[in-house]
Amino acid sequence: MWIEVLIPLQIKLPDRELCLRAGQLQNLPDALATRLVKHASGKVRIVDPPTLESLQPGAWVSWESPLFGRGTGQIALAPENGWLVVRYHSVTGNLGLVRVDGIWPVASGGSTLSHGPQTND
């Protein structure tokens, strides 16, 4: 289930700690998402999952990288064969190839992204 975090949150899970930023979309197991929405009322909300239609050139997206953590970038080319090309990659500052699986649009209005290269926190 997809949730949107409205304020920064730090959640302690049995196996890890989850740090979420305001405006961040996160896909969580249904039971965890439901419990979080119930206990953190007004701090998170359930949102519709991203669709391929929302992954169009010019849109800002985020993803989780096993090597670099949370990444962000702007879509340069429409998705093809499960991949898309992003510009302003938050780690390299250049073009990057990212799998569509696990990617989500950056929430509108809650994003801290500006146009241009981004730095990874």
- pLDDT for the residue numbered 41: 81
The verdict on pTM exceeding 0.85 is no
Give yes or no: residues 58 and 36 share one domain.
no
Residue numbers of the domain that contains 99: 52-105
Tell me the DSSP string of the chain. -EEEESS-EEEE-SS-EEEE-TT-EEE--HHHHHHHHHHTBTTEEE-PPP-GGG--TT-EEEEEETTTEEEEEEEEEEEETTEEEEES-TTTSS-EEEESTT-EEPPTTT----SS-----
Give yes or no: residues 33 and 65 share one domain.
no
* Tally of structural domains, the chain: 2
Confidence of residue 52 (pLDDT cuts 50, 70, 90): low
Bigger pLDDT: 116 or 11?
11
Specify if 22 maps to a domain: yes
Displacement of CA 57 from its chain's centroid (Å): 16
pLDDT digits (tens, 9 = 90+) for 13-48: 888 888 887 777 777 888 888 888 888 888 888 887
Give yes or no: residues 40 and 14 share one domain.
yes
Specify if 121 maps to a domain: no
Specify if 35 maps to a domain: yes
Give the mean pLDDT of 65-74.
81
Give yes or no: residues 42 and 69 share one domain.
no
